[in-house]
A = this chain, B = another copy of it.
Amino acid sequence: MPQDRQVTIITVANRAGVSKTTASDALRGSGRVSEETRRLVTDVAAELGYVPNGSARHLRRARTGTIGLHLPEVLPRSDYYMSFVFGAVQAAADHGYDVTLLTSGSGAGATAERRPRVDGLVLGDPLAADPVVEKLMSSQLPTVTCERYPGPGDPDGIVWSDHGAALRELLDHLAAVGTLRPALIVPGDESDWAASVHRTYRQWCTERGVVPLTRAVPFDANADATSTVARNLLTDEPGLDALIAAPTSAAATLLPVIREAGRRVGDDLLLASCVDGPAMRFADPAITAIDVQPREAGAACAELLFELLAGAVAPGVERLHPIELNIRESTRRRNAP
């Protein structure tokens, strides 16, 4: 039964007939009190339904017990970001931390220059142009980014995946089944992910003596915009025999466009994506894609941040997060158009 007054550590101490200090030590298991009193105090605390006051604890310890998480507000890849968030929150919970969400939205609250009340930051896919990211990067707080930050300044930790290597594997696979002219639809270079995909593609083309064929789309391009780009690409370049649509939503929603253009996916036109997701797995035909393991990436970022906060690793760490290519029907074999 809940008391009307808030039950504090003093309530517990009084009820147990010990001092505040002893109660505190007993509850935290600091090994300073006798097993007997410890048991007594914890029992009383449980009975009273005592819950420690986070603000007081963190005021004393000069820490907040919270990390901030910032993500670009991009709906077209939301299953990626959702997974990322849940991964980060899970890892944080395992370490007794809370996660506060920080957005790039600039409401009334943003005017008051409240520095986020957090011990550290995780920035997922930081975009070069994002002013909020820029502000957070210069906040002096320990920061981990997922993928490199293309703007000024360096985070204390980076969790990154070798999208270049995975794309190269994909391109080699496409070449192996007979592709001669693979095209790439990719967001602009404001994100490091897109930039490295773009760069690797150009390098690969140069190495192979293939004429590169790319189209840029906005980072948050919806399916409609991407479809238009693809439609034009198919019209302009009839010699095209493979299409890599980097964003996850893109490839799946391109199927109708491709069909409309009279091409057959997995037959006279191969199709692949740089970001796997449910839509890829269950498309018809299933689409070859790179599984970037977003939930694990989110968790890895949080873990790295905690190690930085604990001083277990020195600032400047980079950690490689494994990803893998999933080959599916859409690129199994190629027939001439």
Give Cα distance in the complex from A91 to B103, angstroms.
11
Over the window 142-184 of chain A, the binary record of Cβ atoms lying under 8 Å from chain B Cβ atoms (1 yes, 0 no) is 0000000000000000000000000000000000000000000
Within 8 A of B (CB), among A39-91: 51-56, 58-59, 62, 64-66, 69, 73, 75-76, 78-79, 81-83, 85-86, 89-91
With A and B bound together, what is the CA distance between A18 and B58 in angstroms? 28
CB distance from A140 to the nearest CB of B (A): 7
Q: A307: CB under 8 A from chain B?
A: no
Number of copies of chain A assembled together: 2
Residues of chain A touching chain B, judged by Cβ–Cβ distance below 8 Å, are: 2, 6, 51-56, 58-59, 62, 64-66, 69, 73, 75-76, 78-79, 81-83, 85-86, 89-103, 105, 107-110, 112-117, 140, 222-224, 227, 249, 253, 255-256, 259-260, 278-279, 281-284
CA distance A69 to B101 in the complex (A): 10
Contact (Cβ within 8 A) A105 B86: yes
**A222 CA to B62 CA, complexed, in Å:** 44
Given contacts A81-B82, A89-B101, A255-B284, 19 further A-B contacts (CB under 8 A): A51-B114, A54-B114, A54-B117, A55-B56, A55-B59, A56-B59, A66-B100, A78-B78, A86-B105, A89-B102, A93-B105, A95-B108, A96-B114, A98-B100, A223-B278, A227-B282, A253-B279, A253-B283, A256-B284
Closest B residue by C-beta to A80: B78
Contact A222 B103 (CB under 8 A): no
User: What residues of B have a CB within 8 angstroms of the CB of A227 in the complex?
Assistant: 282
Task: Determine which of B59, B65, B75, B95 lies in contact with A82 in the assembled complex, contact meaning CB atoms within 8 Å.
Answer: B75
Does the CB pair A86–B59 fall under 8 Å? Answer: no
Structural contact, A117 and B105, CB atoms closer than 8 A = no
CB of A108 within 8 A of CB of B94, answer yes
Chain B residue contacts of A96, Cβ below 8 A: 108-109, 112, 114
Residues A98 and B86 in contact in the complex (CB < 8 Å), given A93-B107, A278-B223: no
* Nearest-neighbor residue (CB-CB) of A64 within chain B: B55
The 4 closest A-B pairs by CB, nearest first: A256-B284, A93-B109, A54-B117, A223-B282
B256→A223 contact, CB < 8 A: no
Q: With the chains together, A116 CA to B97 CA distance in Å?
A: 10
CB of A299 to closest CB in B, whole Å: 10
A90 contacts B75, C-beta separation under 8 Å: no
Identify 13 residue pairs between A and B in the complex whose beta-carbon atoms are under 8 Å apart, listed by A's number: A51-B115, A76-B278, A78-B78, A78-B83, A86-B103, A89-B101, A90-B105, A99-B100, A222-B282, A223-B281, A223-B282, A253-B279, A260-B284
